[in-house]
Amino acid sequence: MSSEANTGSGVTTVYRVTGMTCGHCESAVTEELGALSGVSSVKAVASTGQVTVVSAAPLDDEAVRAAVDEAGYELVGRA
């Protein structure tokens, strides 16, 4: 099962992030990932550790990792 799907509105990718525990954590991750070029939507869920990103094209995993690191959390990989 792929964690990346190409839909009419772009590419949806689900990532697994550790360390998020609250709404502030979700906001920090959302803000950093939302700043990446081509990203149109980010939904972070602390309780599951899943972050769903919609972008115009597939994102570079290292760019995603750097953004999550900047927010203070750890990207485990794709969910």
Q: Indicate whether 7 pLDDT > 90.
A: no
CATH number (domain holding residue 69): 3.30.70.100
DSSP 78: E
Q: What is the pLDDT of residue 18?
A: 98
The total number of structural domains in the chain stands at 1
3-state secondary structure 24-67: HHHHHHHHHHHCCCCEEEEEEECCCCEEEEEECCCCCHHHHHHH
Q: Quick one: what percent of the chain has pLDDT higher than 90? A: 86
Q: What is the pLDDT of residue 4?
A: 73
Q: Indicate whether 11 pLDDT > 80.
A: yes
38-73 confidence digits (pLDDT tens): 999 999 999 999 999 999 999 999 999 999 999 999
Q: Domain containing 8: what range?
A: 4-78
Q: Which residues pair with 67 in a beta bridge?
A: none
Give the pair of three-digit tokens for residue 14: 């689900």
Please give the model's pTM, rounded to 2 decimal places. Answer: 0.91
Q: How far apart are CA 24 and CA 78, in angstroms?
A: 22
